[in-house]
Chains A and B, each alone.
Chain A
Amino acid sequence: MPVDAMPLIEPAESDARRIAVGLRRKDMALINQLVELYHYRLVRYLLYLTGRRERVEDLVQDTWLRVLDRGSQFDGRSRFEPWLFSIARNLAIDDLRKRKIASLDTPEAVGGAGAATEEGLAGELPAPDRSSPFLAAARSEDAMRLAAALGLLEPIYREVLLLRFQEDLSLQEISKVVGVPVPTVSSRIHRGLALLRSRWQGGSNAV
């Protein structure tokens, strides 16, 4: 089913409390609604975060299981999406760590060498492979160029750009998801945009 045709009805922020109550009571009807509402965005976030398709479905499932198990931790004072994305992010990073430990001799999951020097867990995120979901998501020449540039971007910049411009999270919300201060988020987005712009220009010159 094409994504554009998918109904993505955003729940109002006032619904956060209703979600919190429902999660606390393990209300399965509500949780199923949330799955329907956020499944696509969660898959997209994890896909772009990890740059790999293989593990995304498992990670999505693990994320929802954790939402069910730890639903009482969501207090309803802020929107649901940042909380959901931060769970997904932590699981993705744990998964990468496990795989790194399991196969230390393979070069995968060590990507983003530049990112490894950055503070926080963002250094754990891999650079995507070349047969990336970014290219699969591109539907026009412009989008192809952008997808190629995005695939080459270091994960810490890619992540904040996508959270800001795809998921439409505020800087404060991104700061909660990523676990870095707001000014760091802001500077990462500035830097990411600059890198994307230069690669975009390079691509257009090449064309």
Chain B
Amino acid sequence: MQSDPHQRARFLIDEALIAGIARDDERWLHSHTEECAECANYAEMTSRIVRGLSALSFETGPAATARVQAALAAHAQRRYSAPWGYSAPWGYSAVQRGYSAVQRGYSAMRPRGYSAVQRGYSAMRPRGYSGTQPGDAAMQRRGYSGTQRGDAPTQLRRTAPSWRWGLIAAALLIAAAAPVYRNMTDKRREAEMERADTLLLQRVNARVSQTLPAAMEPLMQTPQTAQTVPGGEQ
């Protein structure tokens, strides 16, 4: 708190513009500036400066805005051209690249009947499919007319529906095949291990049961003889 009322008044004049002041302070300031011409001048000058700051302006053309929007649209098309229209996570991009490589390889070795399958697949597509996406209706409800500039990703999304279906089918196929494949490999591994154990046991048994060579027979008989005479000769 300032001891000098003029100092306090000037601080409050600034503070009122910067962060606002309490009602009591406002009342006090009002009564002070009514009496003190210098502080009233100070308040007048400060408010003129602040008004002047907010009034400083310059001219700018709509071309600059259009340039920025065009740059953004180009950037979005280059970077976010995922089938789902929003940012694809990096993992998805990797899968997408891998899938397209597989697709290229697959089309090279495609059997002749493939096109018939493809026609059947097209027939399976929902009949009301018009290229609109689930989010479009919501966007229109919000007032987006669809004629906005830089709507390139939406357009891009609409040009590649077969791509999306292909990707979904591949993902489903992989998801369904993974457990079956794992099960098969596990069973095969177990069978191999069982076979290996049996073989090992057979080998062990074969060695244990084989007859001793004749030169070793006395060595085997000696401990047996000693056992039959407890407390006897050593």
Contacts and interface: CB of A to CB of B under 8 A. Distances in A.
Contacts of A4: 57
B69 A35 contact: yes
A1 B153 contact: no
Considering residues B135, B146, B149, which has the most beta carbons from chain A within 10 angstroms of its beta carbon?
A: B149
Nearest to A31: B72
Given A35-B65, A39-B68, A165-B53, A28 B73 contact: yes
Nearest to B58: A137
A139 interface: yes
Interface stretch (A87-95, A120-128, A142-150): A142-150
A138 B75 contact: no
A171 interface: yes
A166 interface: yes
Interface string B37-66: 000000001101110111111111110110
Interface string A1-33: 111101000000000000000001111111111
Contact of A39 (B19, B56, B65, B139): B65
Interface residues of B, number: 48
B49 A64 contact: no
Interface in B118-154: 135, 139, 144, 146, 148-154
A190 B16 CA distance: 11
B53 A146 contact: yes
Interface stretch (A77-85, A96-104, A107-115, A193-201): A193-201
User: How many A residues touch the partner, as a band?
Assistant: 35 or more
B151 A28 contact: yes
Given A190-B18, A197-B45, A26 B87 contact: yes
A72 interface: yes
Interface string B197-211: 000000000000000
A67 to B, nearest CB: 9
B99 interface: no
Given A25-B86, A28-B148, A186-B19, A60 B58 contact: no
B167 interface: no
B85 A65 contact: no
Contacts of B148: 28-29, 32-33
Contact of A3 (B49, B60, B153): B60
Contacts of A40: 60
A147 B56 contact: yes
16 contacts: A1-B61, A2-B59, A28-B76, A28-B153, A29-B146, A31-B72, A60-B68, A68-B76, A137-B57, A166-B54, A168-B54, A186-B19, A189-B18, A190-B14, A197-B45, A200-B45
Contact of B53 (A1, A32, A35, A161): A161
Given A4-B57, A40-B60, A136-B58, A200 B72 contact: no
A136 B80 CA distance: 40
Interface of A: 1-4, 6, 24-33, 35-36, 39-40, 43-44, 47, 57, 60-61, 64-65, 68-69, 72, 133-134, 136-139, 142-143, 146-147, 150, 161-162, 164-166, 168, 171, 186, 189-190, 193-194, 196-197, 200-201
B81 to A, nearest CB: 11
A105 B211 CA distance: 98
Nearest to A167: B54
Contacts of B62: 1
A60 B85 CA distance: 25
Given A44-B58, A166-B56, A193-B14, 7 more contacts: A25-B135, A28-B152, A32-B69, A32-B72, A60-B68, A165-B17, A190-B11
